[in-house]
Amino acid sequence: MRILIVEDEPQAADRLESLIREIRPGVELVGKLDSVKQSVQWINENPPADLVLMDIQLADGLSFAIFEQVEVKSPVIFTTAYNEYALKAFKVNSIDYILKPVDKDELAAAVRKYEALAGLMKPQEKMIESIGYAMQMLTKKYKERFVIKVGEHLKSVEVNEVLYFFSLDKATFSQTRDNRKHIIDFTLDQLEGLMDPARFFRINRKYLVAVDAIQDMVTYTNSRLRLVLKSSDDNDVIVARERVQEFKDWLDK
């Protein structure tokens, strides 16, 4: 297996090389690059590597710029310090990502995933398609405002003024800091993909809440949590049991 490492921190690059040689002793390291510029030049001048281990933040910018300047024909495993919630797009069946500091077992699992998938796909087509999708998802801008109808008028509501979204009687509402409710022309499922996951969390089928909307949290039956939300008189705002641990992890950032 021919491996290319793209990493701007020398110690991190050396660690990746050491780990990959432990995992696959017979690998051939074809290069260690630290910038977008070097990577573009290398890819233009050399046959594709079998696998690329690539950091997102490089010496001269984001590694995504590489894909904009040259056709990358190799599958990529990203290594990154980015928040894990911003990286859900990478959990597709053709590439992976590993949060820093890189763990040997996680790297080994990612390599096994690549090896399992590589034999099932046409030369890198699916992998490159997924890389493009992941780049688009990671760099996308989350929704910043909504246009709502108030009587005969239209009004713009900033997302940072929204405390939470909730569904009621087959409609979706936003609750804002000024204690107003507005009907939103989106479902909660749609909103979940439009809101910044660092600020909003889907606690159950009815509520999508902002972290700054939470006034209090109380342990509840069956290992659940009950939330007290600002500007809410609902005493039954419950974090679904299957979401409690993920909710706690989201808060503990």
Q: Residue 41, exposed/middle/buried by CB under 10 A (0-12, 13-18, 19+)?
A: middle
pLDDT at 126: 53
Average confidence (pLDDT) per 10 residues, the chain, 253 residues: 92 92 92 94 94 87 84 83 50 57 85 72 51 56 83 87 93 93 90 87 94 92 89 91 89 78
pLDDT at 224: 86
- Please give the Cα distance from 185 to 252 (Å, whole number): 31
Give the rounded distance of the alpha carbon of 84 from its chain centre.
Answer: 6
pLDDT at 16: 92
Q: Which domains does the chain have, with CATH numbers?
A: 2-139 (3.40.50.2300), 145-251 (2.40.50.1020)
Query: Taking the model in full, what pTM does it have?
Result: 0.50
pLDDT at 208: 95
| Pairing between β-strand 200-202 and β-strand 207-210 as defined by DSSP bridges | antiparallel
Residue 96 near residue 110, CB atoms below 8 Å: yes
